[in-house]
Structure 1
Amino acid sequence: MPQLNPSPWLMILIFSWMIFLYFIPPKVSAHIFPHEPLPITIENFTTESWNWPWH
């Protein structure tokens, strides 16, 4: 049964994990968002009470 022979599958597993661990994280971490969020100031938030007539 060739499924039990680990020699070709072990190298495929090792090379695929090398790609995942060494090449992909720097590409993902170097991603820059097109619109950086601006810091929100607290002074802009003023709430007003609702004066709705409840029936």
Structure 2
Amino acid sequence: MPQLNPSPWLNILIFSWVVFLALLLPKILTHNFPYEPNPESAGALEPLPWIWPWH
């Protein structure tokens, strides 16, 4: 059965992880969100009352 031969699949796995770590990971880590909340603008949230019936 050829699918039990790990030689080509191991090379593909290692190569894909090298590509991921070398090219994609730096792009993902440098991504920033345009509207990050700051602690000054976040107000205290008031809890909503429990309105479910108890039965």
TM-score, length of structure 2 as denominator length: 0.57
AA partner of residue 26 (structure 2): P
Aligned runs of 1:1-55 on 2, under 5 Å? 1-40=1-40
Aligned CA RMSD, in angstroms, stands at 2.2
Q: Aligned-pair distance for 1:39?
A: 3.6
How many positions carry a matched residue from both structures?
Answer: 43
Structure 1 residue ranges, 4+ long, deviating more than 3 angstroms after superposition = none
Question: Percent identity, aligned pairs only?
Answer: 60
The structure having more radius of gyration, on CA atoms, is: 1
Q: Which residue of 2 aligns with 1:50?
A: none
AA partner of residue 12 (structure 2): I
* Gap runs ≥5 in structure 2: 45-55
Deviations 1:2-54 (A, max 9, x none): 0121221111011111122222221111112111323417xx87xxxxxxxxx
